[in-house]
Structure 1
Amino acid sequence: MIRFKRLDHVAIMIPTGKKEEARQFYGNTLQLVEIPGNHPRGAIWYGIADVQLHLVEEDGDTKISGRHPAFEVADLEAAKAYLTRKGIEIAYSSVITGRSRLFFRDPFGNRVELLEYEQ
């Protein structure tokens, strides 16, 4: 069983080369506060209430998109063991300091991230 705690973030894709336009819209128009840092894949992160929005550049011709929701779980190792027992393939991505994470795809190709913050 996976013990979900909360939605942590949603990653949406923006066209390559459109970061400044994205900053204009999300930062200026919607007035979201950018979370500074050197984020994976050069992403731009914003805070919205207690959830984060991650904007990641991606070419439009990508067959399998990187867009995904990310859920914080109580025990990532237990979640990994559960998914493995169910025959679900686990994938990993770049390291983010302070959190462990894994990815999998649902039967329809949607990417899902599970993460656990380090204590």
Structure 2
Amino acid sequence: MLFSILALDHVQLAMPAGEEDRARAFYRDLLGLSEVVKPANLARRGGVWFEAGSLKLHLGVEAEFRPARKAHPALLVSNLPALLAAASAAGYPPVTDEPLPGYDRAYLADPFGNRIELLEPVVG
């Protein structure tokens, strides 16, 4: 083969137009991701970008927005119980699912209904 895939650069989710502040409240303020300034040529489209370590999560405006309820990013976290308590207090009730060997996990719906999986490796 003359090429290879090196890594995943970012994940993009859709959001409705004009909802950047709600995205910031969830992804920046609740989940603790840092907002990244979008390049000027892309900023006019709306949306907002976030990062944490090697994670890059972009939210782009979609005119006929429909939330991703099955397809989703899975975020590795530490202290999942504390995050779930903070999410509940902020009005984002966690949803549990079938066990996944080696992980504690739950799902949240972002302010737009997109599914976000939260995974914490089980130690021991």
Give the structure, 1 or 2, with the largest relative contact order (CA under 8 Å, sep 6 or more): 1
TM range (shorter): 0.3 to 0.5
